[in-house]
Structure 1
Amino acid sequence: MSKKLPNNVTYLRLFLLELLPFLALVSAIFVITADNPILGVLFLIGVFLTVSGYLALIGLTFLALTYLIIYVGAIAILFLFVVMMMDLNLLDLSELPSVSFPVAAILASSLLASLISLLNQCNIPFWFDSLNLIHLIPSLSSTLSWSSTFHLIEHLHVLGLALYVAFPLLLIIVGLILLLAIIGPIVLCL
């Protein structure tokens, strides 16, 4: 019996299956030995990212996405508040020229333009007539509840349909509210 030689994708997958646990271990050691708490948090984020990548490679994609959303998201917020509470006087912000406002205005306008073009490409009524968006998907509007569709398609697929297809504007609004919740404390501390 001859063994079938794996292709390049399989070699890359096997290499990553060996590399990611090693990187997670090295990052975990740096979390413990880091003198600077900011570097410790960055290495902790590295641990969670490598573990998430490993879980995705072995086929546990939902658990990998959960690691990314919950742990990396929560640690990033924790990192933000730790930086805010620390007295890091590395440079005085009042002495810097005010170059950030035009850059921020350009970035905000480009983000707004891309968001408007994205909404125009979708077949979604602009600034909806009503927020009952379930009627945009005929197969989902015929069901009485989301739980009745769980046995037909995968749970994650139903969640994705609910978030990204049935309620895209609400998802964007929630994302902007969370962005404001992150930026607000930074502005208050400056």
Structure 2
Amino acid sequence: MKRVEDNLGSIGASKARSVHNSVMEHRNICNHPYLSQLHAEEVENWIPKHYLPPIIRLCGKLEMLDRLLPKLKATDHRVLFFSTMTRLLDVMEEYLHWKHYRYLRLDGHTSGGDRGALIDKFNQQDSPFFIFLLSIRAGGVGVNLQAADTVIIFDTDWNPQVDLQAQARAHRIGQKRDVLVLRFETVSSFPIVLCR
């Protein structure tokens, strides 16, 4: 089977890479402008001054999450937060520190021994941890987080099956509550033209 680059030739392959890079840059901006290659200071100068700090105000998804999390916490929900990008988890850590929410984090850099300990901490009865940050692929097969009853998929994976596996982390044996699944999307963010 030939690679796409072999069929396109060198000029076509470089154009395909350029389109892929543009799509990824737009995806970064939709998830949070701090992930963009632009400097955060430049991005901050594009918006009017507002009562919310820039980390929230620059991102519609995070602004929505900022309204939602206090309600979830007040009603004793436990949250799994999934993202495809570990850099977005870094931004979320900064946000959660600022809001004083107790959290745990698991991503591809977490060692095998630490994974089990983090899962046990989150699943403990009366655990103080309200939210568990997970990269969507690292939080995959074999991870049982039935202590959570809310799943937030901040940005979807290209493969819808990966999102379904993420949702299944809370739908496990031992789950006694209904599980709420929230998928965040940015509507009309940028056009993608499909060739037919």
TM-score, shorter chain, exceeding 0.5: no
Question: Is the radius of gyration larger for structure 1 or structure 2?
Answer: 1
Tell me which protein shows more strand as a share of its residues. 2
Tell me which protein shows more helix as a share of its residues. 1
Q: Aligning the two structures, in what range does the TM-score lie when normalised by the shorter sequence? A: under 0.3
More relative contact order in 1 or in 2 (CA 8 Å, sep 6+)?
2
Q: TM-score when scaled to structure 1?
A: 0.24
